[in-house]
Amino acid sequence: MSPYLLLGFLFAGILRVVFPGQVITRYMGKTSFRSVFNAALLGIPMPLCSCGVLPAGIGFYKNGASRGSTISFLISTPQTGVDSILATYALLGLPLAIIRPVMALITGVFGGLLGNRIELAEDGKAHKQQSGEDEPERTVKEMFRYGFVELIQDISKWLIIGMLVAALLAVLIPADFFTSTISNDYLGMLLMLLASVPLYICATGSIPIAAVLLMKGLSPGAALVLLMAGPATNIATMAVIRGAMGRKTLIAYLVSIVGGAVFFGILVNEFLPLEWITRAIPSMSHTHLHEQPTGWFKWVSTAVLLLLISNGFFIKFISRRKSREFDRKKREAMETGIYQYRVEGMTCDHCKSTVENGLQKLEGISEVLADRESKLVTVQAAELADNLIKDTIENLGYSFKGRV
């Protein structure tokens, strides 16, 4: 996977500087098919997991994007990304690498159209306007910084977990497990659905798991269910969507993903020859490394990728130490006018800085400290209105749970 992942990280950096968030927002404002289609199409190459896409998607919604466009973006984005598409080609072959973005596009559009119907039924409730994040620098330095530092920091943990789970499954599951134990392909699809919907699986990290399960006899349709529903859904995502956009929107979101996964799984099992899938998977086509002229390049790419992952963990470790020390000093400096609020949905350092920067802009607030582990936001202000804090936090895409 290494050469394809490195190429994917490079493409991700290019997309970062060519298509910043403000450009995406302009295509998501209307309750029309074109707006929904644009949102799904733009979301497919974006290398954002369900952690990163939630603040962005909910932020677009709060900024005035239509509900349908937001759902379309939330569905299509975490399923794929340039890195995961290329990694799918590396481990699972060309057919599945083509099917994955097609699935993301169709299910995103379908979910967006359902969202538009819900919005029209509720008389097109207006959204509050909130200024978005600052536009990133459109430079080569920013391209490499985002692609090979920030993005690697975001997905490397899940990529490693996916590899380890795949290795564990390869050892624990007998080679003929699915063919001898689960003779019904659709029972396998159901099991994958029950496992993947509530849990978070990275779009890239799910690929080696799917590859191993296919080698153990799992049907391609069931593997597609894992590749689609795993990255797009989890309990935390569902809770935030329900809180930000309502129960009906959450139902439309889940119907689109679950229905799309089952539909495409059946389609692949019934109409796509199994040989097309198995012959395209390198690990199932009896192709050995020494037979490939590019074997040395893969080893070099692997070494480079490992160095970049190690660098990402090292930078994250150092920055967290500095952040904790800074937070400690800031907390000690806060003496009067201290307010604490519980905020859910802060899952990374990017979320922490987004909340802090967003609240810092409010008049009368002198200091803000967000702690994603305790889910507490500490605010120092001479005078403060809780409803203003609530509106700001929800406009940023997070869930406000009240004052502590």
The string of pLDDT tens digits covering residues 313-357 is 888 788 777 767 766 666 666 556 778 888 887 766 667 777 888
Please tell me whether residues 261 and 360 are part of one structural domain: no
Let me know if residue 294 belongs to a domain. no
What is the rounded distance in angstroms from the CA atom of residue 48 to the CA atom of residue 203? Answer: 9
- At residue 103 the predicted structure's pLDDT band, cuts being 50, 70 and 90, is very high
pTM recorded for the entire structure = 0.68
Number of separate domains in the chain: 2
- At residue 292 the predicted structure's pLDDT band, cuts being 50, 70 and 90, is very low
Please tell me whether residues 90 and 160 are part of one structural domain: yes
pLDDT at residue 117 is higher than 90: no
- At residue 233 the predicted structure's pLDDT band, cuts being 50, 70 and 90, is confident
Let me know if residue 168 belongs to a domain. yes
Query: What mean pLDDT comes out for the span 76-101?
Result: 88
**Amino acid 132: pLDDT:** 43
What is the rounded distance in angstroms from the CA atom of residue 382 to the CA atom of residue 403? Answer: 16
Residue 385 belongs to a domain with what CATH number?
A: 3.30.70.100
φ and ψ at residue 124, rounded to 5 degrees: 55, 55
Question: CA geometry: angle at 9 spanning 7 and 10, to 5°?
Answer: 65
What is the rounded distance in angstroms from the CA atom of residue 277 to the CA atom of residue 143? Answer: 35
What is the rounded distance in angstroms from the CA atom of residue 100 to the CA atom of residue 106? Answer: 10
What is the rounded distance in angstroms from the CA atom of residue 298 to the CA atom of residue 11? Answer: 19
**Amino acid 72: pLDDT:** 93
pLDDT at residue 125 is higher than 80: no
What is the rounded distance in angstroms from the CA atom of residue 139 to the CA atom of residue 151? Answer: 16
pLDDT digit string, tens, across residues 45-85: 887 766 567 666 766 676 667 889 989 988 998 888 888 88
Please tell me whether residues 170 and 114 are part of one structural domain: yes
Let me know if residue 273 belongs to a domain. yes
Please tell me whether residues 165 and 260 are part of one structural domain: yes
HEC assignment per residue over the chain:
CHHHHHHHHHHHHHHHHHCCHHHHHCCCCCCCHHHHHHHHHHHCCCCCCHHHHHHHHHHHHHCCCCHHHHHHHHHHHHHCCHHHHHHHHHHHCHHHHHHHHHHHHHHHHHHHHHHHHHHHHCCCCCCCCCCCCCCCCCCHHHHHHHHHHHHHHHHHHHHHHHHHHHHHHHHHCCCCHHHHHCCCHHHHHHHHHHHHCCCCCCCCCHHHHHHHHHHCCCCHHHHHHHHHHHHHCCHHHHHHHHHHHCHHHHHHHHHHHHHHHHHHHHHHHHHCCHHHHHHHCHHHCCCCHHHCCCHHHHHHHHHHHHHHHHHHHHHHHHHHHHHHHHHHHHHHHCCCCEEEEEEECCCCHHHHHHHHHHHHCCCCEEEEEEECCCCEEEEEECCCCHHHHHHHHHHCCCEEEEEC
Let me know if residue 275 belongs to a domain. yes
**Amino acid 64: pLDDT:** 65
Query: What mean pLDDT comes out for the span 273-301?
Result: 68
pLDDT at residue 22 is higher than 80: no
Domain that holds residue 236: 2-287
- Arithmetic mean of pLDDT over the chain: 79
**Amino acid 332: pLDDT:** 64
Please tell me whether residues 344 and 260 are part of one structural domain: no
Please tell me whether residues 267 and 347 are part of one structural domain: no
Domain boundary, last residue among 287, 304, 320 = 287
**Amino acid 287: pLDDT:** 47
Q: Which of 93-102, 227-236, 352-361 has the highest mean pLDDT?
A: 93-102
Domain boundary, last residue among 287, 319, 354 = 287
**Amino acid 57: pLDDT:** 73
Q: Which of 140-149, 207-216, 380-389 has the lowest mean pLDDT?
A: 380-389
**Amino acid 75: pLDDT:** 92
**Amino acid 145: pLDDT:** 85
Please tell me whether residues 120 and 14 are part of one structural domain: yes
**Amino acid 23: pLDDT:** 64
What is the rounded distance in angstroms from the CA atom of residue 116 to the CA atom of residue 109? Answer: 10
Contacts of 78 (CB under 8 A, 6+ apart): 48, 49, 50, 53, 203, 231, 232
Please tell me whether residues 356 and 263 are part of one structural domain: no
Let me know if residue 323 belongs to a domain. no
Let me know if residue 265 belongs to a domain. yes
Please tell me whether residues 381 and 283 are part of one structural domain: no
Query: What mean pLDDT comes out for the span 235-257?
Result: 82
pLDDT digit string, tens, across residues 141-190: 888 887 888 878 777 877 788 778 777 877 887 767 766 777 788 888 99
Report the percentage of the chain scoring pLDDT > 70: 82
What is the rounded distance in angstroms from the CA atom of residue 323 to the CA atom of residue 249? Answer: 37
Within 13 Å, how many C-alpha atoms sit on residue 372's CB side? 17
